[in-house]
Chain A
Amino acid sequence: MKVLVTVKRVIDYNVKVRVKSDNTDVDLANVKMALNPFCEIAVEEAVRLKEAGTASEVVVVSIGPKTCQEQIRTALALGADRGIQIETEDMPESLNVAKLLAKVIDEEQPGLVIMGKQAIDSDNNQTGQMLAALTDMPQGTFASEVKIDGDKVNVTREVDGGLQTVALNMPAIVTTDLRLNEPRYASLPNIMKAKRKPLDVKTPADLGVELKAHTKLLKVTPPAERQAGIMVASVDELVDKLKNEAKVL
Chain B
Amino acid sequence: MAILVIAEHDNSTLKGATLNAVTAASQMGADLHLLVAGAGCGAAAEAAAQVAGVAKVLVADNAAYEHQLAENMGKLVAELAKDYSHIVSPATTTGKNFMPRVAALLDVAQLSDITAVESENTFQRPIYAGNAIATVESMDAVKVITVRGTAFDAAAAEGGSAAVETVDAAHDAGISSFVGEEMAQSDRPELTAADVIISGGRGMGNGENFALLEKVADKLGAAVGASRAAVDAGFVPNDMQVGQTGKIVAPELYIAVGISGAIQHLAGMKDSKIIVAINKDEEAPIFSVADYGLVADLFEAVPELEQKI
Contacts and interface: CB of A to CB of B under 8 A. Distances in A.
- Chain B: interface secondary structure? mixed
B184 A162 contact: yes
Given A232-B293, A238-B305, A95 B108 contact: yes
Interface string B274-293: 11100000000001111111
A123 B113 contact: yes
A42 B19 CA distance: 35
A124 B110 contact: yes
Contacts of B133: 220-223
Size category, A interface: 35 or more
Interface in B220-258: 220, 228, 232, 237-239, 244-245, 247, 252-253
A93 B139 CA distance: 13
A13 B273 CA distance: 27
Contacts of B239: 158, 160-163
B292 A241 contact: yes
Contact of A214 (B100, B139, B264, B276): B139
Interface stretch (B153-161, B173-181, B199-207): B173-181
A236 B127 CA distance: 39
A172 to B, nearest CB: 8
Interface in A122-146: 122-134, 136-139, 141-142, 144
B103 A130 contact: yes
B109 A214 contact: yes
Given A221-B132, A235-B301, A215 B69 contact: no
Interface stretch (B21-29, B35-43, B49-57, B89-97): B89-97
B132 A222 contact: yes
Nearest to A231: B293
A238 B294 contact: yes
Given A220-B127, A222-B133, A242-B276, A165 B181 contact: yes
Contact of B176 (A122, A138, A249): A138
A165 to B, nearest CB: 4
Nearest to A218: B135
Nearest to B97: A141
Interface string A210-222: 0001111111111
A215 B291 contact: no
B304 interface: yes
Nearest to A162: B183
A159 to B, nearest CB: 4
B131 A223 contact: yes
Interface in A142-156: 142, 144, 154
A217 B135 CA distance: 6
Contact of A133 (B74, B94, B294): B74
B97 A129 contact: yes
A226 B289 CA distance: 6
Contacts of B228: 178
B66 interface: no
A169 interface: yes
A179 to B, nearest CB: 6
B139 A213 contact: yes
A98 B179 CA distance: 28
B175 to A, nearest CB: 4
Nearest to A20: B132
Given A162-B183, A167-B177, A235-B296, A242 B139 contact: no
A248 interface: yes
A189 interface: no
B103 A126 contact: yes
B124 to A, nearest CB: 9
A201 interface: no
A130 B132 contact: no
A91 interface: no
Contacts of B46: none
Nearest to A161: B183
Given A26-B131, A121-B127, 12 more contacts: A95-B103, A95-B104, A129-B97, A130-B104, A131-B104, A139-B71, A139-B176, A142-B93, A162-B239, A163-B181, A242-B292, A249-B309
- What are the 8 closest A-B residue pairs judged by CB atoms, nearest first? A129-B100, A229-B291, A126-B100, A214-B109, A130-B104, A133-B104, A138-B176, A133-B101
